[in-house]
Amino acid sequence: MEAKASATGRLIAFHAQGQPVWTPRDYAALAREGVQKNPVVHRCVRLISESAASVAWLLHEGDGERDRHPLLDLLARPNARQSGQALMEAVYGYLLVAGNAYVEAAGVDGEIRELHALRPDRMKVVPGPDGWPDAYEYTVNGRSVRFDQTQHQTPVLHLSLFHPADDHYGLGPLEAAGTALDLHNAYGAWNKALLDNAARPSGALVFEGEGSLSLDQFERLKTELEDHYQGAANAGRPLLLEGGLAWQAMGISPRDMDFIEARREAARDIALAFGVPPMLLGIPGDNTYANYAEANRALWRQTVLPLVGRTAQALAHWLAPVFGDGLRLSGDVDAIDALSADRAALWSRLTAADFLTDDEKRLAVGYGVRE
């Protein structure tokens, strides 16, 4: 009897030559220049990860819903250091920044006791003979831990976003927004430098007299400019020019650069990559949605809920060998305030649908049939 295997997996294994495959992007640079330095990226990551982590889990077994279960207890209190919401916020944050997130299951005698989110920049894939991961290696300060993925219950869950050009790693929205991120940060750095130089464009002092300045005159002039006319504290101070000196502007003014609008466009591109309506970030000039509430619903429907849904499926599939087959996880959509108007409209339509039985109506809104 032949075991099922992918016909193309061996090509992937040959391409990787069985060696660890490091993530090709610089996670540290993305985290530093994006989340730590850019307010638009920081807000996008926090808005999505905190919103997604706030969604409560529902556990389904067959056609029924379980209110109490060891799996729900584990997800509510995954380890001694974190709550369930804090763990999932980290998982979603890693996905948004790196395109990859890893969850470790720590257990005793086959019983899972804790869940931990692992930093994606410290993890690498070790492909097996069939091209797919046989193990993961987690390295910190030169010391590595190997997680064998060939056993019945795999110790690590790898969550990844779709990447069109990588067999093992996902593509995060932050990398896709890299150009817009660089532009937005460059505009901020340019504006800061302009303020540090008394908010004046760069220019030159041109000597229009006969001959040239002596070395002493040049050094004295340079010292006076640095000490008395540069910096925010000297903003607006008039420049006193001696005979034969004239100021000639050489830079482009913020108005000529269309500075404000260009920076807003970069911010809009960042928001677009993350799937966050610019209106929610306070970026003016975007009239896609009629009001804030509509934009907030679009964020939940198009960005947050799909992320929660794919994570719920992955967690249930990963933990099913321990907690039982037939278990399904989903997000409690009814508890989301931003979608209450949509749910009320659905209930009204179902209430008026006389051709449906009560059990059919319950199934239509996500509830199980009455036992």
Are 343 and 331 within one domain?
no
**17 versus 48: which is more confidently predicted?**
48
The tens digit of pLDDT for each residue in 234-266 reads: 554 555 555 556 655 555 555 555 677 888 899
Query: Residue 82's pLDDT band (boundaries 50, 70, 90)?
Result: very high
| Separation CA 40–CA 43 (nearest Å) | 5
SS (H, E, C) the chain: CCCCCCCCHHHHHHHHCCCCECCCCCHHHHHHHHHHCCHHHHHHHHHHHHHHHCCCEEEEECCEEECCCHHHHHHHCCCCCCCHHHHHHHHHHHHHHHCEEEEEEEEECCEEEEEEEECHHHEEEEECCCCCEEEEEEEECCEEEEEECCCCCCCEEEEECCCCCCCCCCCCHHHHCHHHHHHHHHHHHHHHHHHHCCCCCCEEEEECCCCCCCHHHHHHHHHHHHHHCCCHHHCCCCCCCCCCEEEEECCCCHHHHCHHHHHHHHHHHHHHHHCCCHHHHCCCCCCCCCCHHHHHHHHHHHHHHHHHHHHHHHHHHHHHHHHCCCEEEEECHHHCHHHHHHHHHHHHHHHCCCCCCHHHHHHHCCCCCCC
Are 207 and 347 within one domain?
no
Please tell me the number of Cα atoms within 13 Å of 222 on its side-chain side. Answer: 7
Are 363 and 277 within one domain?
no
Query: Residue 123's pLDDT band (boundaries 50, 70, 90)?
Result: very high
Q: What is the pTM of this model?
A: 0.78
Query: Residue 304's pLDDT band (boundaries 50, 70, 90)?
Result: very high
- Phi and psi at residue 175, in whole multiples of 5°? -70, -40
pLDDT at 321: 83
Q: Which domain holds residue 370?
A: 337-371
Are 20 and 128 within one domain?
yes
Are 1 and 146 within one domain?
yes
**107 versus 331: which is more confidently predicted?**
331
Are 211 and 345 within one domain?
no
Are 11 and 98 within one domain?
yes
pLDDT at 272: 94
pLDDT at 215: 75
Which of 239, 266, 293 is a domain's end point? 266
Are 329 and 341 within one domain?
no
| Bridge partner residues of 246 (DSSP) | 206
| pLDDT of 18 higher than 50 | no
Are 75 and 134 within one domain?
yes
**14 versus 41: which is more confidently predicted?**
41
The tens digit of pLDDT for each residue in 177-208 reads: 988 988 888 888 877 776 666 555 555 556 56
Are 305 and 235 within one domain?
no
- Phi and psi at residue 12, in whole multiples of 5°? -65, -40
Which of 266, 296, 321 is a domain's end point? 266
Are 120 and 163 within one domain?
yes
Are 302 and 356 within one domain?
no
Arithmetic mean of pLDDT over the chain: 81
**Domain tally, the chain:** 3
Residue 281 has what DSSP assignment? G
- Phi and psi at residue 202, in whole multiples of 5°? -65, 155
